[in-house]
């Protein structure tokens, strides 16, 4: 059956697959690509303050003609700076709402635990206040590790609905404990960059079983990887500028891998988990990303 929804710990239902805008940049081309995603059938848009394309995502949504409750919109506080001033969570959320052109966000995330080290509880209280005020419907985090979540949960009145993390077979060995902890506390995983084994790390130990399983099920290799992410009961966050690829991604809603398929992928992935490349380091928040802008600079980790 097609992709459906996952029920969050706050009772709301999040679409199982999202069109992500991390790698899109900005400008008219982004608007066209996001519109294409909506036209193909994506009903979940994922953006962030540091991507610098919230406005384009908003224009695409407006030009689509879809009703607000037809599309789930996620954004993130990324610790942006404007001049010499770092924009706080509440101020940033209101700016994101204005840029996207909506009255509320379905989901708002703290983009990285590194942004709030030493003040996780204070930052989370601010997120809870945004939810109480109705500016955001659900709140969560991104790139949080177990210790970060433990600190947050110690004083949280509202548990994070999701934790958006890097998720593919090459990092699974190092992510299993985190996923188990999240399951224990009813925090839904959102998996981004699930196609890295194909796009950034081809030629590794995963290739052989991946292509074998794809051939066996008459699937494209990327469909197998996304089906694996889905097997972890995770929301898939992915993107492409190609319509046919987006259609293949959505077709994964009808794909179910066998337990042996999943085990084979994870066994091969474990052989390559110690060889993370630069792309993974960026995605995990190890590399500092500095983006210049007319109004100042975004300085943050993601």
Residues designated catalytic: 51, 111
Task: Give the Å distances, CA to CA, from 150 to 76, 116, 123, 215.
Answer: 21, 14, 14, 42
Alpha-helical runs (H) found in 72-166? 89-100, 120-132, 146-155
CA 161 to CA 159: how far, in whole Å? 6
CA 26 to CA 57: how far, in whole Å? 9
Distance, C-alpha 193 to centroid of its chain: 8
Q: What angle do CA 246, 251, 256 make, to 5 degrees?
A: 135
Dihedral pair phi/psi, residue 138, rounded to 5°? -130, 150
Catalogue the E-assigned strands of 8-152.
13-15, 17-20, 44-46, 72-77, 81-82, 85-86, 105-110, 136-142
52-64 burial string, b = 16+ CB within 10 Å, else e?
bbbbbbbbbbeeb
CA dihedral for 174, 176, 177, 179, sign (positive or negative):
positive
Question: Tokens representing 127?
Answer: 């997120």
Cβ neighbors of 111 (< 8 A, separation 6 or more) are 48, 49, 50, 76, 77, 78, 79, 142, 143, 300, 301, 302
Question: Tokens representing 200?
Answer: 């950034």
Q: What is the CA radius of gyration of the chain?
A: 18
CA 75 to CA 51: how far, in whole Å? 10
């Amino acid at each position: 059956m097609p992709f459906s929804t996952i029920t969050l710990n706050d009772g709301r239902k999040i679409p199982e697959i999202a069109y992500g805008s991390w790698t899109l940049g900005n400008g008219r081309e982004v608007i066209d690509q996001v519109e294409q995603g909506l036209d193909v059938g994506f009903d979940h848009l994922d953006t962030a303050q540091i991507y610098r394309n919230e406005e384009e995502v908003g224009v695409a949504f407006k030009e689509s003609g879809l009703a607000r409750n037809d599309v789930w919109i996620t954004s993130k506080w990324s610790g942006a700076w404007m001049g010499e001033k770092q924009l706080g969570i509440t101020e940033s959320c209101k700016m994101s709402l204005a840029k996207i052109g909506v009255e509320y966000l379905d989901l708002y995330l703290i983009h990285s635990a590194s942004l709030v080290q030493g003040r996780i509880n204070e930052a989370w209280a601010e997120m809870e206040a945004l939810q109480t005020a109705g500016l955001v419907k659900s709140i969560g985090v991104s790139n949080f590790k177990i210790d970060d979540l433990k600190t947050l949960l110690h004083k949280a009145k509202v548990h994070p609905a999701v934790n958006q993390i890097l998720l593919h077979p090459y990092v699974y060995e190092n992510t299993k404990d985190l996923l188990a902890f999240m399951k224990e506390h009813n925090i839904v995983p959102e998996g981004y960059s699930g196609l890295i084994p194909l796009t950034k790390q081809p030629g590794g130990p995963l290739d052989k079983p991946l292509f074998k399983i794809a051939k066996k099920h008459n699937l494209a290799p990327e469909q197998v990887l996304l089906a694996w992410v889905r097997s972890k009961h995770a929301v898939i966050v992915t993107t492409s500028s190609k319509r046919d690829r987006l259609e293949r991604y959505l077709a994964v809603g009808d794909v179910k891998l066998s337990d042996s398929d999943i085990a084979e992928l994870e066994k091969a992935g474990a052989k390559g988990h110690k060889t993370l490349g630069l792309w993974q380091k960026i995605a995990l928040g190890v590399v500092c990303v500095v983006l210049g802008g007319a109004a100042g600079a975004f300085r943050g980790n993601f």
